[in-house]
Amino acid sequence: MQKIIPFLWFDNQAEEAANFYISLFKNSRMGNVSRGPNGEAFMVTFQLESQQYMALNGGPRFKFTEAVSFYVNCETQAEVDELWDRLTADGGEESQCGWLKDKYGLWWQIIPTILGELMQDEDAEKASRVTQAMLQMNKIDIATLLRAREQL
């Protein structure tokens, strides 16, 4: 068993959210669903890319904030675009620099892997141009980052 498991508190959408999240990532699956006396989900376990999670329907007392987010390394712009579009659909909200809030209020960072490489370029001017370009974005656009690096 995984030693540290993120535990997510939902109002009453734990099972719905888990099903949504597993639909986003290939190596994912639903685990156990513990149900209350009326058949409603109480606690849900699931895996995203082999990472285990637990989710609880705990009521409206606590909400997610930007203080905790899930950082997703994306290999391609197509992967960034697909995850961005699906996570912001149906009430999700875009934020800056690759951050977004999904329809359940959970925060995500949808980041192309190349961003870190470009921001750590040995040429400080190139790295600075990439950083400045990224700071102007909501969804990260790889082509724009590459143009900024080369001042195209």
What integer pLDDT is reported at residue 16 of this predicted model? 98
What integer pLDDT is reported at residue 77 of this predicted model? 98
Does the predicted model carry a pTM greater than 0.85? yes
pLDDT in tens, the chain (152 residues): 799 999 999 999 999 999 999 999 999 999 999 999 999 999 999 999 999 999 999 999 999 999 999 999 999 999 999 999 999 999 999 999 999 999 999 999 999 999 999 999 999 999 999 999 999 999 999 999 999 999 96
Domain 64-152 bears CATH identifier 3.30.1060.10: no
Instruction: Give the homologous superfamily in CATH for domain 1-60.
Output: 2,3-Dihydroxybiphenyl 1,2-Dioxygenase, domain 1 (3.10.180.10)
What integer pLDDT is reported at residue 1 of this predicted model? 78
Tell me, letter by letter, the H, E, C secondary structure of the chain: CCCCCCEEEECCCHHHHHHHHHHHCCCEEEEEEEECCCCCEEEEEEEECCEEEEEEECCCCCCCCCCCEEEEEECCHHHHHHHHHHHHHHHCEECCCCEEECCCCCEEEEEEHHHHHHHCCCCHHHHHHHHHHHHCCCCCCHHHHHHHHHCC
Locate CATH 3.10.180.10 in the chain.
1-60, 64-152
What integer pLDDT is reported at residue 98 of this predicted model? 98
What integer pLDDT is reported at residue 152 of this predicted model? 62
